[in-house]
Amino acid sequence: MKKPVIALLGIGLMGRPMALNLLKADYPLMVWNRTHSKAQALEAHGATATKEQVDACAQADIIISILENGPVVEQVLFHPDVLRHCRPGTLIIDMSSIPPEQAKQHAQKAQEHNLHYLDAPVSGGTLGAEHATLSIMAGGNKAQFERALPIFQALGNTATYIGPAGCGQLAKCANQTIVGITIGAVSEALLLAEQGGADPSAVRQALLGGFASSRILELHGQRMLERNFEPGATARVQLKDLRTILDTARNERLILPLTQKVYDEYLSLINSGYENVDHSGLLLQLERLNDCQMGAVEQPETTRETT
């Protein structure tokens, strides 16, 4: 069966590896990015780059957007001039992280133009995008989720239908709540261990075998130990997601004190000039707060047996 033509809007840290995985799965792919050279670079892999997003959308059966935030999605994809050039029945899959209420509005706009819509944000970072192991959380019509499932399977190892439009973004809010708070917890735990005289690397290894084990401790804990803060997901984007979570909670008349505290710490980190470090770089804010640096404590020598 002939595969649908896909238009992918956004060739960034996540979009580029996702595009490569779609090409590996033999999908005809149109690509667009504000910086056209990033889209052009994918032509060597079999994609067709367009200078205008309208040109990509007009030729597509399925449009995927993976953009930085809601306002960018609104400007790039949900502008009336773009929507009216899409063919009736086209499925829009927004894999960006945007507010749930905005996703509901986008679903309504799509319907008004005889288009279908899924909000399908992802978790797994650039590593998950590269290895096609993303976790995908989808909201919208169940039949359209089934339509998109082969594409999701080319991009990730888990795709879950959450519920109506906006529910995928609610799941992403839940994800980022856990991610942000856990990064803060791992930062505090490793710094506490080291400042008390323990080897933080050994502490991390021990914790991975118990109830404190998590993907954050495994991957971001190692980043902290190596002081490798090259961005997979930036602190700036993590702050944006935490703001979305708090705004959504306020709309539901909820108070989320842990999320608020982590938001405040990320805000301080970014105000100190670290907006483009990896979100595991929250450790840097904790170090600044305590006037110390992990790795600066001399560890006690390990007693060696002699034979």
Supply the DSSP string of 191-219, one letter for each residue: HHHHHTT--HHHHHHHHTTSTT--HIIII
Query: Considering the domain boundaries, does residue 55 fall inside one?
Result: yes
Specify whether 19 is located in the same domain as 121.
yes
For the chain, the domain total comes to 2
**Helix (DSSP H) and strand (DSSP E) numbers for the chain:** 15, 9
pLDDT tens profile 202-249: 999 999 999 999 999 999 999 999 999 999 889 999 999 999 999 999
pLDDT bracket for residue 302 (50, 70, 90) = very low
Specify whether 102 is located in the same domain as 15.
yes
pLDDT score of 143? 98
Copy the structure tokens of residue 100. Answer: 């749930």
Specify whether 281 is located in the same domain as 201.
yes
3-state secondary structure 48-93: EECCCHHHHHHCCCEEEECCCCHHHHHHHCCCHHHHCCCCCCCEEE
Query: Considering the domain boundaries, does residue 19 fall inside one?
Result: yes
From CA 284, how far away is CA 3, in angstroms rounded?
47
Range of the domain at 145: 6-164
Query: Considering the domain boundaries, does residue 190 fall inside one?
Result: yes
Query: Considering the domain boundaries, does residue 131 fall inside one?
Result: yes
From CA 290, how far away is CA 195, in angstroms rounded?
11
Specify whether 124 is located in the same domain as 195.
no
Give the residue from 116, 111, 194 showing the smallest Cα distance to 148.
Answer: 116
Query: Considering the domain boundaries, does residue 45 fall inside one?
Result: yes
pLDDT tens profile 245-290: 999 999 999 999 999 999 999 999 999 999 999 999 999 999 999 9
Last residue of some domain: 142, 164, 186? Answer: 164
pLDDT exceeds 90 at position 301: no
Last residue of some domain: 122, 148, 164? Answer: 164
Copy the structure tokens of residue 234. Answer: 């930036």
pLDDT tens profile 18-59: 999 999 999 999 999 999 999 999 999 999 999 999 999 999
At 289 the three-state DSSP class reads helix
CATH of the domain at 24: 3.40.50.720
pLDDT exceeds 70 at position 178: yes
pLDDT bracket for residue 299 (50, 70, 90) = very low
Query: Considering the domain boundaries, does residue 1 fall inside one?
Result: no
Catalytic-role residue among 38, 104, 109, 172: 172
Torsion angle, alpha carbons of 246, 251, 252, 256, to 10: 20
Query: Considering the domain boundaries, does residue 296 fall inside one?
Result: no
Specify whether 132 is located in the same domain as 234.
no
CA 33 to chain centre: 18
Specify whether 263 is located in the same domain as 278.
yes
Least confidently predicted of 65-69, 79-83, 144-148: 79-83
The answer to whether 76 and 65 have CB atoms below 8 angstroms apart is yes
Specify whether 155 is located in the same domain as 175.
no
pLDDT score of 96? 96
**Is pTM beyond 0.85 here?**
yes
Specify whether 270 is located in the same domain as 224.
yes
CATH of the domain at 215: 1.10.1040.10
pLDDT, the chain, mean: 94
pLDDT score of 296? 63
Specify whether 153 is located in the same domain as 224.
no
Catalytic (active site) residue 172: yes
Specify whether 174 is located in the same domain as 160.
no
Give the residue from 67, 83, 64 showing the smallest Cα distance to 23.
Answer: 64
Specify whether 153 is located in the same domain as 235.
no
Query: Considering the domain boundaries, does residue 302 fall inside one?
Result: no
Specify whether 199 is located in the same domain as 121.
no
Last residue of some domain: 112, 142, 164? Answer: 164
* C-alpha distance from residue 279 to each of 37, 118, 270, 300 (Å): 27, 27, 10, 30
pLDDT bracket for residue 80 (50, 70, 90) = confident
